[in-house]
Amino acid sequence: MIDLVKKYYWQFESVLYEWITRLSSVKTGKTKHQLPSELIISLTSYPPRFSKLHLTLKCLVNQSVQPDQIILWIAEQDIHLLPSAVLKFQRQGLVKINACKDYKVYKKIIPTLQSFPKAFIVTADDDLHYPKWWLATLICDWDGNIDTIVAHRVHGITLCNAGNPKPYKEWVFEQTKNCDPMLAFPTGGAGVLYTPDCFYQDMLNEKYFTALCNGADDIWLFWMCRLKGKKTLKSSRHFNVVSWTNTQHVALAHDNYSRDQNDIHIAKMLKKYGWPIKLSL
């Protein structure tokens, strides 16, 4: 019964947020961030999500803290399909829309890393509502340590006796603040602040990430950060994952969870790199 109530509550809240965002005017953040280098919000999208993409962009440009850039990456073959409601953000100088090679889900971050290797990068999804405090909280909760990334939503990895991760479904989902920073698994859509040079040397190797983690970018990013010795802090605020109506039927997360695809990807990463956590904090 509780699960049923939660289901309909989030459906209601999703519709409510959609109407609020449609009626609100587009405003840029007034406060400049205080990070030591450029701050970029990076996201991608594809045709099945284009009709609601402008709603997410409104949220991102209306943050209380203003990033240096918001970059939307679209596959070269799809960019001509973008609707006018999305293109207007570029015309107004609020969002940069760039064409790139079709890296699938990795378009969210790979092209930005290639173009801006020394920037702080915050990832976002194309189908979620982001409250005005979303970006400011990630920035404020960063401890100033270049080895620390900050995430709004993390799962706690549970380990077996051999020290390797248990099956994905046995992890502790939606972890609280008190989570081992080395075992905190960030989910990119809710928002993750990545520091400059936080990834292992194979991060941009397309051959590897497509063969090992095709469609599972969160797993790839986790390994690349841990192999570089980085830790993850859970943000101080709870982020409700609220998606726009009629967008989740094309979500990769369904397959990764219900069909145990994450465990397949994790097994491939273990075989290639081993378990990347060598030290406990």
Longest CA–CA span in the chain (Å) reads 56
Judged by average pLDDT, the poorest of 8-17, 47-56, 76-85, 122-131 is: 8-17
Of 123 and 257, which is predicted with more confidence? 123
Q: What is the pLDDT averaged over residues 241-260? A: 66
Q: Above 60 in pLDDT, residue 51?
A: yes
pLDDT tens profile 52-93: 999 999 999 999 999 999 999 999 999 999 999 999 999 999
pLDDT tens profile 132-161: 999 999 999 999 999 999 999 999 999 998
The reported pLDDT for the residue numbered 24 is 42
Reading the block at residue 168, the tokens are: 């994905």
The reported pLDDT for the residue numbered 280 is 45
Distance between CA 209 and CA 179 in Å, rounded? 27
Measured in whole angstroms, how far is the alpha carbon of residue 88 from the centre of its chain?
24
Other residues' Cβ atoms within 10 Å of the Cβ of residue 84: 8
CB 182 within 8 Å of CB 148 = no
The reported pLDDT for the residue numbered 260 is 83
Mean pLDDT of the chain: 88
pTM of the model: 0.87
Going by C-alpha positions, the residue among 105, 98, 193 that lies closest to residue 154 is 193
Q: What is the pLDDT averaged over residues 194-214? A: 98
Of 21 and 65, which is predicted with more confidence? 65
- Residue 88: exposure state from Cβ atoms within 10 A (0-12, 13-18, ≥19): middle
**Element of type H or E holding 231:** strand 231-234
- With pLDDT > 90 as the criterion, what percentage of the chain qualifies? 79
Going by C-alpha positions, the residue among 194, 189, 62, 180 that lies closest to residue 138 is 194
Q: Above 70 in pLDDT, residue 114?
A: yes
Q: What is the pLDDT averaged over residues 211-235? A: 97
In the 3-class helix/strand/coil scheme, how is 83-129 assigned residue by residue? CHHHHHHHHCCCCEEEEECCCHHHHHCHHHHHHCCCCEEEECCCCEC
Place of tokens 């991102």: 60
| Domains, the chain | 2-273 (3.90.550)
The reported pLDDT for the residue numbered 248 is 60
Q: What is the pLDDT averaged over residues 12-25? A: 46
